[in-house]
Amino acid sequence: MWRISSHRVSVQIEVVFVALDQCGSSNDRRIALIDKNRDLYLTSVRKLGRAHSIHKIGSMVDTMAWNDSANVLCGVQDSRFTVWYYPSVVFVDKDLLPKTIFTRDSRYTLTPDKQSRSAG
């Protein structure tokens, strides 16, 4: 699905949204990608000593954005507002990722043509 060379990321599936973490040094920055299947992936901007890796950290993600003053990612996942407080933990231990996620039911539902208030 993903192929990575030393200087570029090439994908075999259509990427529909990309966001670059703007906080911290360039060595610590991450790129978040949403593909056409609405899966959310995280990769580092720079490769330091180890093979470049991409980790899937979410599915059914409609949109996402990085916080401008901390390495925190938020988005709408399966119609729920989701915050990944420390998404980079997947590079250390994938099993810790669920412990760093906050979710809350959303009052809004995204539709292809507009954002509408959901019933309930």
pLDDT tens digits, one per residue of 21-56: 988 888 788 999 999 999 999 998 876 666 668 899
DSSP for residue 119: P
Give CA–CA dist 10/72, Å, rounded: 25
Q: Are strands 61-66 and 73-77 parallel, antiparallel or unpaired?
A: antiparallel
In the structure, what pLDDT confidence band is assigned to residue 119 with cuts at 50, 70 and 90?
Answer: very low
In the structure, what pLDDT confidence band is assigned to residue 64 with cuts at 50, 70 and 90?
Answer: very high
Whether 13 has a pLDDT exceeding 60, the answer reads yes
Averaged confidence pLDDT in the chain: 82
Please give the share of the chain, as a percent, with pLDDT higher than 70.
73
Give CA–CA dist 10/7, Å, rounded: 10
| The dihedral formed by the CA atoms of 94, 98, 101 and 105, expressed in degrees to the nearest 10 | 140
pTM of the predicted structure, to 2 decimals: 0.77
Angle at 19 between CA 86 and CA 5, to 5 degrees: 95
